[in-house]
Amino acid sequence: MMTIEDLKALVRDVPDFPQKGILFKDITTMLKDKEGLRLAAQLLCERYADKGITKVVGIESRGFIMGPIVAEKVGAGFVPMRKPGKLPANTVSESYTKEYGVDTIEVHVDAIDENDVVLLHDDLLATGGTMYAAYLLAKRFNPKKIYISFIAELEFLKGRELFPADVEIDALIKY
């Protein structure tokens, strides 16, 4: 039986990507392993199975991988939050500063509503800028509740501290 430690061992460290000084946590080595993919999916789904989630919101791009798997398993819909200019219909947006640059994310204006229980998902929590923007964007829709989930978290960057204490934030793997 595979453990969380085995899962962690499947994530590859890539030094100096996408720029010098960043130690990139590459989840593709975990995804290509059938047991790794299965365990990651199972653990993410178990955690949210009984929370009444109605929309899983995946953050571009790596939030689009496990996001739909979790959505389907917990009986929710899937919503993409994307880089500017990618979504075809009317959007709302938020800007943010991340570990290596400034960026903007967008979501369709009709993607979330106030009856939703939202799970925001991305592969990794670094400084938290990306997810904080996603959180602010989701909050504008005034949903019943917002949960936040990651595959991995770089705890030493303290990204969690950006969020209000009552927001439940979870990561399968911690560094």
Q: Which residues bind ligand AMP (CB under 6 A)?
A: 22-25, 59, 62, 98-99, 122-131, 159
Taking a C-beta distance cutoff of 8 angstroms, is the pair 173, 151 a contact? yes
CA 31 vs. chain centroid, Å, equals 15
The residue (of 54 and 118) whose beta carbon lies closer to ligand AMP is: 118
The residue (of 17 and 75) whose beta carbon lies closer to ligand AMP is: 17
For the CB of residue 159, give the shortest distance to ligand AMP in the complex, in Å: 5
Taking a C-beta distance cutoff of 8 angstroms, is the pair 47, 59 a contact? no
For the CB of residue 167, give the shortest distance to ligand AMP in the complex, in Å: 15
**Active-site residue 99, yes or no?**
yes
Catalogue the E-assigned strands of the chain: 12-15, 23-26, 55-59, 77-81, 91-98, 101-108, 117-125, 145-153, 169-174
The residue (of 12 and 144) whose beta carbon lies closer to ligand AMP is: 12
Q: Which amino acid is at 67?
A: G
For the CB of residue 79, give the shortest distance to ligand AMP in the complex, in Å: 16
> Annotated active-site positions, please?
62, 99
